[in-house]
């Protein structure tokens, strides 16, 4: 006989159903978690692709200049002026390297290297000196470029602030006041455009004709400093509105401070324009590069033989490119592809004014 403790008890069906439901819920929750993690990973991958696209040449160039070009066109656009400037010299030094290889083929170089044993030491010293000078040249040019960009960034902010104050604080007592205010707002942009032309040493052109009256446009053509004349017109308008009691003295002072800041930014750009990198550094760098390229193939020809010309052309391309890039960006106000996009900056300010003035009209 079996005791009561030896009897096997069967599980109730409700307990089995609960276990089944719990296991199914766990499996469904794990499946949903896997789907969620997979979706998140796909989102991160897509967002990573977007970030990579934003770092591409075409995207960065578009943000910088407003032009949308494919990557290879951006590369060609930015390097074409550098290549055009250095290509004749690269060909010259490549031909000189071939001439040294030809002399080495006829046995003339070995005698010279035997007699002049200081050439390797001279080449090593020139390597060090040229590295330091090229670093100095590049850093100095970039500092000038970045300082100019900060000044023009300050100009954008000052134009926006001045236009906003003109719209808000100057009262319109007569219907003609609105037309006059719109003309002054466009004169604020005309100051930036005239500043761009002044820094590029270009005469007054049709870019300014659409931003002012014909009488003012013809007056600017006979003025030595058009931006300063435009600043005078804007300041005269502020003073006239104060005399008409359309603006109080505190706001008048604030408006004049913003106008003075625009003139100060112009002066900062003129300082960069009229104070180039000392020519003695440029002359010294050119002389040392010439001496370096004259001596280098005598050192290389014994090991490279007929490859001396191509290798010398390649090295000259690298060093002359660095020098030419520094020469381009040290004067950042021109129209070279590597200069500041002043046309795009001026168009940005004009769009800002066009967007701001209708809001000003709706408020009034």
Q: Provide the domain count of the chain.
A: 1
**pLDDT surpassing 90 at residue 280:** no
| 271 found inside a domain | yes
pLDDT in tens, 102-119: 888 877 666 655 556 677
**Residue 39 domain flag:** no
The percentage of residues in the chain with a pLDDT greater than 70, rounded to a whole number, is 74
Rounded distance between C-alpha atoms, residue 15 and residue 65, angstroms: 72
Q: What is the domain extent for residue 297?
A: 76-363
- Over residues 126-139, the mean pLDDT reads 90
**Class of residue 262 by CB neighbours under 10 A (exposed 0-12, middle 13-18, buried 19+):** buried
- The rounded distance, in Å, linking the Cα atoms of 45 and 41 is 6
Tell me, yes or no, whether 64 lies in a domain. Answer: no
Res 71: pLDDT: 61
Residue 51 lies in a domain: no
Model pLDDT for residues 6-44, shown as the tens digit of each residue: 444 444 445 445 554 555 555 555 555 555 555 555 555
Contact criterion met (CB below 8 Å) for 171 and 242: no
Question: Is 34 inside a domain boundary?
Answer: no
**Residue 47, in any domain of the structure:** no
């Amino acid at each position: 006989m079996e005791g009561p403790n030896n009897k096997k008890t069967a599980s109730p069906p409700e307990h089995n159903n609960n276990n089944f439901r719990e296991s199914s819920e766990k499996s469904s929750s794990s499946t949903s978690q896997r789907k969620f993690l997979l979706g998140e990973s796909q989102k991160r991958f897509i967002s990573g692709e977007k970030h990579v696209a934003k770092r591409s040449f075409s995207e960065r160039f578009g943000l910088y200049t407003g032009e949308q070009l494919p990557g290879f066109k951006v590369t060609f656009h930015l390097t074409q002026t550098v290549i055009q400037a250095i290509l004749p010299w690269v060909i010259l030094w490549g031909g000189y390297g071939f001439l040294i290889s030809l002399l080495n083929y006829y046995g003339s170089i070995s005698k010279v290297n035997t007699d002049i044993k200081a050439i390797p030491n001279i080449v090593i010293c020139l390597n060090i000196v040229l590295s330091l000078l090229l670093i100095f040249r590049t850093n100095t040019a970039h500092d000038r470029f970045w300082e100019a960009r900060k000044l023009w960034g300050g100009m954008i902010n000052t134009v926006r602030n001045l236009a906003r104050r003109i719209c808000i604080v100057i009262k319109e007592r007569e219907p003609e006041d609105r037309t006059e205010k719109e003309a002054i707002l466009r004169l604020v942009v005309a100051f930036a455009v005239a500043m761009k032309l002044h820094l590029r040493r270009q005469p007054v052109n049709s870019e300014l004709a659409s931003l002012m009256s014909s009488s003012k446009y013809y007056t600017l053509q006979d003025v030595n400093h058009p931006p300063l004349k435009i600043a005078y017109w804007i300041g005269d308008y502020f003073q006239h509105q104060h005399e008409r009691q359309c603006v109080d003295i505190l706001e008048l002072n604030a408006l004049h401070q913003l106008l003075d800041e625009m003139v100060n930014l112009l002066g900062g750009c003129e300082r960069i324009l009229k104070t180039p990198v000392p020519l003695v550094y440029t002359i010294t760098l050119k002389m040392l590069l010439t001496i370096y390229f004259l001596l280098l193939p005598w050192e290389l020809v014994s090991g490279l033989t007929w490859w001396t010309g191509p290798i010398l052309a390649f090295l000259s391309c690298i060093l002359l490119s660095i020098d030419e890039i520094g020469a381009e960006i040290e004067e950042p106000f021109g129209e070279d592809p590597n200069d500041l996009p002043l046309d795009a900056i001026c168009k940005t300010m004009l769009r800002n004014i066009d967007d701001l003035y209708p809001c000003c009209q709706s408020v009034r």
